[in-house]
Structure 1
Amino acid sequence: MVHAVPVLLFGPGLPHAGVATTCAINEHSISIASHQLAVPLSALKADIGGFDHDQLQLHWQSTAGVYMVIAGAPDAQKQLLGLLPAPLVAGLKGWRIATFSQKTVWNSLIYGAGLIVLLVCIGVWQYDRMLGWAANRVSIETEQKMGKAVLASYNRQQDIITSGAAVDFVKSVGNQLTQGSPYTYQWLVVKDDMVNAFAMPGGIVIVNTGLLKKAGNANEVAAVLAHEVQHVEQRHALKNMMHSAGVAAVVMLVLGDANAAMILIAHQVSTQFFSRQVEAEADLKGAQLLLKQHIQPNGMASFFKRLSKEEPKTGQVPEWLSSHPDTQHRIHLAEQFAKQHPCTDCKNLTWDIEAILANIQQPVQPNTETH
């Protein structure tokens, strides 16, 4: 019996945001009639993805390149899981075990004792003040240990590019932006077509190759990096993860137990959504950082404009834009800042985009380093 499931298809020649279609599954294969694709179940590989690391991703290799299918909705994912036989799909059994264990841990630790105790003890009206007080008492050394521990967990699921023009470019711009910082920054380029960049506590900044492909010039990348740097410098990333994990992680971090806190916080990697006030602060201080380093601050507004044009074409908001509300207002503020702070000695950064694109298109070598 054949069952049709709504999915998003990603692959060679397709939009970065994927194409909405349906797949048909029988006992031996999966087929996508709209793109004339038919794949034996034994050729599939199941991986974990998504903001909460509970998304089922099905990959397969063809002569044209690597394709990926994800469910179009939570109900569709349940349908996929019910139809796919675990013995035939590589990694599916491990996916089920990993997601089940993760849900069990978070349901028992975070949404149980952590959040309840936090609300009862300090009250909703005192929460932000308490969180800021606690974060300011976490040493940078502890924060960096936590970031490394979280990165080790994240790294197992990602293809990290370890060398080449793309890595050199990101490191060069990032190091220029963070001169004199108390943090020791680590800049990582991940082979992922999602247009996204995010910061981990302790100065670890992840840049997806999709962002490098989408950026129109080096100034736009610098503006995004300056924004993410400010999430680190202002400890937004640390505070946000502590907020999400609850009082247990707050206590562990204040006491310096980064490894135990990592268990509670690891699932927050790349899933952060900051408040409008926090995002506005990162925008403003990021623009100020660009001026300080004599880099033209026009990149943020132009990059937001570039991404905002994608929504009418695809019907979906690009990943980096989706976590940054009030786009038009923020474009206006970024343009206003540039007009009010003319910089006669600021320079436009340059990049070798052809070398960068060639670098990120090369196969990724297995990476065993997580530090």
Structure 2
Amino acid sequence: MTQPERLAAEYFDGVSARPLHVEARIDGDTLCIQPPEGDPKRVPLRRVRWPERQRHGARVAHLPDGTSLHCADAMAFDTWARHAGLGESWVVKAQQSWRWTAAGVAMLLVLCGVLYQWGLPWGARAALAFVPARVDRELGDIAMRSIRDEGLVSPTALPPGQQQRLRAAWSRAVANAGPAGVTIDLHFHKSKLGPNAFALPGGHVVLTDEMVALVEGREDVLIGVLAHEAGHVRHRHGMRMLAQTTLLGGITSIAFGDFSGLLAAAPALLGHLAYSRDFEREADGDAIALLQANGIPPAVMATMFERLRAHQRKEGMPDLPIALGSHPPDEERIARFRDAAAVR
């Protein structure tokens, strides 16, 4: 095959929309653009912004003075460039290879998985290290007021004497646990949420009347429930969740922009569910430790799970699979509590 020394192209001078038909050739380290009449235009090769090879479309080389060289015949341009010794970067070559493209996609997926699994939690912990504990309390106070204002909870119907006994039992349990004990601000409430207990940043823990009734006031079980919620407080799970959700939301906004609010929110929702399961397991570990420190068999917590499950079935509530629930499966948690022995 003879070397195509000259390339038929169109030259745009940046002033007129009408192209000038020219011939282009390479002379050493210079691009020469020869018009039909007159002297050729000479441009150092290193100052030309050469187009990347693609499957379709015209080739456009941009010159430093704002003018450009166009070639509608992409194959002719690529052949001329190759014979002229205009090499391609490895990036361009990789883009043209389905194997390199597939490998790049696979590496990107692996990187996203690593960042999702370990990067976000690490980033949240690092950011939270600079947030003082008083911020937890302020956010917890706001959340507690909001829960009350929205009517999710109402004043408790538990007798004052029972409230006092439960508070005293919890105080003794914390004292027996030693330095690992956590101080919480315990609230008793009726609730539209049914049998439940939850922790807010800063130490607010709500124990519902319905939960007390569900376990028939058993102090050993309720101590385990409160120990679990205190674990959330000690590990700052609420603040960590907020930080992780904020980071994940920022990343999805960068990735998806305003293309779809639902699409951008989906990864943040999935992240919330997965990280919640990790936090629940961590809080369960704290509950086991406190129960053991008080000589209470952690297996007593199985009572709560069994009664909660019976309550859900009675109320017609479905048992959610792990992919849709923020807690680990009941079977996993029951087995963990039953396998943990009491220690005196």
TM-score (normalizing by structure 2): 0.50
Larger Rg: 2
Structure with the larger RCO, 1 or 2 (CA within 8 Å, 6+ apart):
1
TM-score (normalizing by structure 1): 0.47
